[in-house]
Structure 1
């Protein structure tokens, strides 16, 4: 009986796993990798240090946007030092829209108006220094 026909029938979960293993075992070139097996937890301080260092060394728009996607992709709100470094990098590569988008990302990640307001109060001097406004300020 053709093994593909045999695998196309509804099988119990354990049987499907066994069938998949037997198919994989018949192929000699299959290599199974455990990418997350060596994953270690990162402290918030190390996360902050890593992204501040990254944004301090950014020299083009692609790298800046890649770093922002990575920084905002974690299940945490980046510290103000990370946001400051990202804003400075956005102005250094002369991309004002990305600087405005940093505040939009911060608003989404903060989740609450109170936390977002605290971030905005702490970032107000840098915001004024760099001449960056939020989306809401631009719409007025």
Structure 2
């Protein structure tokens, strides 16, 4: 019984309002008059124009690369790094080595070793064959050694008895 009285008390409206209503309510224009004053009877209520997907231009690979290099250069925390990586790997292409370099440097800057290892896992899953993956590894070998980033294959070799390794 006590709980229902609490709910009734909480549902009651306050006896004095916080704001006093104006003496006269403001007069509102009818919707049809508003639409015709905007230019047409079919005009919407928004003040911005509608965006159409057909208006997007195709982005070249060079523009994509430049955009993500800039994004990774501005990364300040782990959330931004992982968000940019998710966005970069969501496209139907493999990011260029310069984008990967920028991502690895950003991972080092925010001190996120696991994400740096995962970058190479993402590359491994995005490329079409092992030869392309090996080309990425060869291209980025110097930076990997400089930053101290190991590969998952180095950390957990095939057949290891680690409880954390799930092939």
- Which bin holds the TM-score, normalised by the shorter protein? 0.7 to 0.9
Displaced runs of 4 or more, over 4 A = none
* Aligned position for 1:115: 132
Bigger relative CO (Cα 8 Å, ≥ 6 apart): 1
* Aligned position for 1:82: 99
Q: In the alignment, is residue 124 of structure 1 matched against residue 141 of structure 2?
A: yes
The TM-score, its normalising length taken from structure 2, stands at 0.63
**Within 5 A, what are the aligned runs for 1:129-140?**
129-140=146-157
| Correspondent of 1:63 among 72, 80, 85 | 80
Q: From the two aligned structures, give the one with the greater helix fraction.
A: 1
- What's the secondary structure of 1:37's corresponding residue? helix
| Correspondent of 2:113 among 96, 101, 109 | 96
Cα distance, 1:111 vs structure 2? 2.2
Cα distance, 1:66 vs structure 2? 0.5
Supply the distance in 2 between the matched residues of 1:34 and 1:108 (Cα, whole angstroms).
34
C-alpha root-mean-square deviation of aligned residues, in Å? 1.7
Aligned residue pairs: how many? Answer: 112
Query: What are the ranges of 5 or more consecutive residues in structure 1 without an aligned counterpart?
Result: 1-28
Q: Show CA shifts across 1:68-117 (max 9, x none).
A: 01100000010000000001101110110000000000000112100000
The TM-score, its normalising length taken from structure 1, stands at 0.75
